[in-house]
Structure 1
Amino acid sequence: MSETSATMKRNQHFGTIVKALSGYYYVQPDQPLVDIGYDMKSVQCRARGVFKKRGLTPLVGDKVQFSLTENGEGTVDELLPRSSQLIRPPVANIDLVVLVFSVIEPSLNTQLLDKFLVHIEHAEIKPILCLSKEDLQQQEGAQANEAKEAIATIHQIYSKLGYEIYDTSATEQTGVAELKERLQGHIAVFAGQSGVGKSSLLNQLVPGLNLETSAISQRLGRGKHTTRHVELIDIDGGWVADTPGFSQLDFAQLGVEDLSYCFVEMRERAGDCKFRGCTHVQEPGCAVIAGVQAGSIAMERYEHYKIFLQEMNDSKRRY
């Protein structure tokens, strides 16, 4: 081996992209680099131009091979194989998704919740439901009643489907310790609608983090986007990612034929339908429709399925 090759080999390191911002990728090395005089926790890197030619984009969560440059920065040289990938939010190698939805302020949106779940089921990643601001049910009046009803609805519908549910309050620190314990040993992503309290929860999970939060707009009933980029946050024994708040998803990566599979209750009954490839809308002998009529499948979830199916069929006709 030549001296140049040996030097290059010694300069090769492995790590995880923990932040992507303004064309830079911040890589946390698997092994500390203090023995070679580098004492920063993460290395600010640029990606090699070859990735663009190959149509590849490094993502937060990617395991990478990188090299240090003379100016104290680095270059991402190779992306290692991914175990999972979400398109929106753009995160790789996560094995747990924490869907944060507030019981009020903004009001619980179960149609949006089901959209998230469809994508997560399609990605074959484990979802956890986290209800935030549960302390608001202790107040008086209509808001308290709305909060109580939202909590009851989620537990009644989604616990029967096997989803884990955590009732939390960043203000009262309710459920925070239990959620933190659940995250140990995982790379998890926090996702949900704007203003539901993702950043507030993360501030409680990681003392001293001090992520920016904002109040809900009383006129619009939704929060400002306080998170500007995706970043992995080191939490004792694992990683969590805070993601930009958003209220819409698209089905660009999901085929019409995949939709029913992403509803747990339909996936379990599809084999009992009379016809193969049943859309569960009007076919005779449909086990899913029978389940809805019998009350074993929640009507609300079924109505969301039909809305999503119509959206996807309309999108196909446009293109």
Structure 2
Amino acid sequence: MVVPDGPLALVPFAGLRLTGSQPLAECATTVFFPGLSLLAPPGAQPRPQGAAARRAGPPSAPGRVIAHAAAPMFTERLTTLVEQAPLPVTVSEPMNRAELREALLTATAHDVAVLFHHGDTAPDSASRGVRLADGGYLSATTARRWNWPDTVVLGSCWAAHLLPTEADEPFGLPTACLLGGARSVIGGQAPILANKTVATVIARVVVNSAQGERAAERLGTALSTLSRTAGVNPGPAAGWAGLTCWTTDPPPAAHRVADAWTPRTSHSTDEQPDVQGLPMSCARSAAPGPRRHNAWAAI
């Protein structure tokens, strides 16, 4: 359900009743209040979905990444993981704002765009965004007008932080990328550090997403791996655990487990279990008896 901006926003659209006297709000999946500046002009062509075009091609088609980074440690880590990837991945590296804009606006399909640079927060969308390597700036307002691939990764401190203010369009950089065509955006919900830990996590997510895997799942796997890897000190969690995924993709389907019933005889025994050393309650449950139900099955 889309509620328009301006004077029409005063109309109680949510309470309008459909056939059968059911309020519109009860049928809507979500309610969106866009500003008029966010709506496409009449006759505008829909933005192409880059990764969708690649999925329609052969499975062997290489994943394509746009990477704009000022930190050599991220570039080195990304290069290493690309070389180790089981499927081919190609990386283009625009060096300035003009090249980045050209890479995003061309018809060439890409799967992932990653920006690894400092970010800023500000009260208005025209001032918050990401600093670029050439001294330029990508604000949330500008990002809304650009075309983005399916997955966008913002390895930038404060880039995703939003300070809502009265009379301002309520969107930050992640929302701007989603409105510009992205389906998943990864960024720091809280400030993140530009260190080797964050560079490694983001590089892994970028490479895996370019090969068709879900960005949210890959982010969760990469973060959980940090604490389980022997000999690796990821540093304080406050510097990397704030990475978050905003996505319009539906959640993955739960694995279907077939119903299976075990015969009652499989849960019964005439044998006397060894109850020595068990708590008294468990010992009583496991006491022998004719065709007595075995508590071990439940345990």
- Mark the structure with the bigger radius of gyration: 2
Normalized against structure 2, the TM-score is what?
0.28
